[in-house]
Amino acid sequence: MPAEREATAAQTGTIDRLRSFPDTGGHTVAGHHHEIYLSNPNRTAPDAMRTIIRYPVKPAS
């Protein structure tokens, strides 16, 4: 189980950009983001962490 982490400024900026991107293609965010950790937070320095952030999207109505 991953250790609890606080959002960094870089992560917050990335999430903001991801939330606005679907609007440019006629879609909208359809739920909360999911994080997939590619690095072990217990063994990796915070600046070396790699995470995939995914949002479900749906066509805009």
What is residue 28's predicted lDDT score, i.e. its pLDDT? Answer: 87
Name the pairing type of β-strands 27-29 and 57-59.
Answer: antiparallel
- Whether 33 maps to a domain, the answer reads yes
Domain total in the chain:
1
Is 3 among the domain residues?
A: no
Question: Which range marks the domain in which residue 40 is found?
Answer: 9-59
**Amino acid letter at 11?**
Q
* Mean pLDDT, each 10-residue run in order, the chain (61 residues): 55 80 84 88 87 88 79
Q: Can you give the pLDDT at residue 8?
A: 65
Q: Tell me, yes or no, whether 4 lies in a domain.
A: no
Classify residue 35: in a domain, yes or no: yes
Q: What pLDDT, on the 0 to 100 scale, is given for residue 39? A: 92
Task: Give the global pTM.
Answer: 0.62
